[in-house]
Amino acid sequence: MRVKQYVVETMPEAMLQIRKDLGSDAVILSTKEIKVGGVLGMFRKKRIEVVAAVDKEEKKQTTNQVQNQFSPVPRSFVPEAYRQTARSFVVASDESAASIAEKNVQEKTSDATAVSESSKLGSDMSNGRSSLSIEHKPRPQGADFSGLTSASGQQEQANDLQQGQLMSELQELKLMMTKLSKQGATADPLSEEFHALRERLMEQDIWPEVWESWFEVVQTNLSEKELDEVEAVQAVQLEISHFLEKRIDVGILPTTRIVYVAGPTGVGKTTTIAKLAAEQMFNKQRKVGFITSDTYRISAVEQLRTYASILNVPLEVVQSPGDTQRAISRLEECDLIFMDTAGRNYRNELLVSELQSLLAPVENSETFLVLSMTSKSSDMVQITEHFSKYGLDKVIFTKMDETGSCGPMFNLLHRFPLKLAYVANGQNVPDDLLKPDADSLTKQLLGELVR
pLDDT, one tens digit per residue, over 38-61 is: 665 566 778 888 888 887 654 444
The backbone torsions φ and ψ at residue 129, rounded to the nearest 5 degrees and listed phi first, read -120, 150
In this structure, are 155 and 178 located in the same domain? yes
In this structure, are 212 and 71 located in the same domain? no
Distance CA 43, CA 63 (A): 62
DSSP letter at 187?
A: P
Please tell me the pTM assigned to this model: 0.58
Q: What angle do CA 282, 285, 288 make, to 5 degrees?
A: 90
Q: Which of 32, 54, 76 is the last residue of a domain?
A: 54
The backbone torsions φ and ψ at residue 224, rounded to the nearest 5 degrees and listed phi first, read -100, 5
Q: How many helices (H) and strands (E) does the chain have?
A: 14, 13
In this structure, are 181 and 198 located in the same domain? no
In this structure, are 183 and 158 located in the same domain? yes
Kindly report the number of other CB atoms within 10 A of residue 197's CB atom.
22
In which band, very low, low, confident or very high, does the pLDDT at 125 lie, cut at 50, 70 and 90? very low
Report pLDDT for 68. 46
Distance CA 426, CA 420 (A): 18
Determine contact, residues 244/438, Cβ cutoff 8 Å. Answer: yes
391-408: average pLDDT: 91
Measured CA to CA in angstroms, residue 165 lies from 66, 109, 110, 388, 409 at distances of 23, 11, 12, 70, 63
Report pLDDT for 77. 52
**Does some domain include residue 441?**
no
Identify which of 60, 53, 61, 69 has the alpha carbon closest to the alpha carbon of residue 130: 69
**Does some domain include residue 444?**
no
Please indicate whether residue 254 or residue 37 has the higher confidence score (pLDDT): 254
Distance CA 259, CA 395 (A): 12
In this structure, are 101 and 168 located in the same domain? yes
Report pLDDT for 62. 40
**Does some domain include residue 380?**
yes
336-350: average pLDDT: 71
Report pLDDT for 309. 92
Kindly report, residue by residue over 55-113, the tens digit of the pLDDT. Answer: 765 444 444 444 444 445 455 554 555 455 445 544 444 444 445 445 554 555 555 45
In this structure, are 64 and 111 located in the same domain? yes
In this structure, are 415 and 335 located in the same domain? yes
The backbone torsions φ and ψ at residue 141, rounded to the nearest 5 degrees and listed phi first, read -65, 130
Identify which of 90, 154, 156, 163 has the alpha carbon closest to the alpha carbon of residue 128: 163
Task: Report the chain's mean pLDDT, rounded to a whole number.
Answer: 75
Q: Which of 245, 270, 290 is the last residue of a domain?
A: 245
In which band, very low, low, confident or very high, does the pLDDT at 356 lie, cut at 50, 70 and 90? low
**Does some domain include residue 150?**
yes
In this structure, are 360 and 266 located in the same domain? yes
Distance CA 90, CA 443 (A): 54
**Does some domain include residue 101?**
yes
In this structure, are 280 and 419 located in the same domain? yes
Report pLDDT for 52. 85
**Does some domain include residue 252?**
no
**Does some domain include residue 251?**
no
Please indicate whether residue 394 or residue 101 has the higher confidence score (pLDDT): 394
In this structure, are 424 and 326 located in the same domain? yes
Percent of the chain scoring above 90 in pLDDT: 29
In this structure, are 226 and 175 located in the same domain? no
In this structure, are 83 and 213 located in the same domain? no
**Does some domain include residue 181?**
yes
In which band, very low, low, confident or very high, does the pLDDT at 239 lie, cut at 50, 70 and 90? very high
Domain extent, residue 164, equals 60-137+145-188
The total number of structural domains that make up the chain: 4
Cis peptide before 430 (omega within 30 of 0): yes
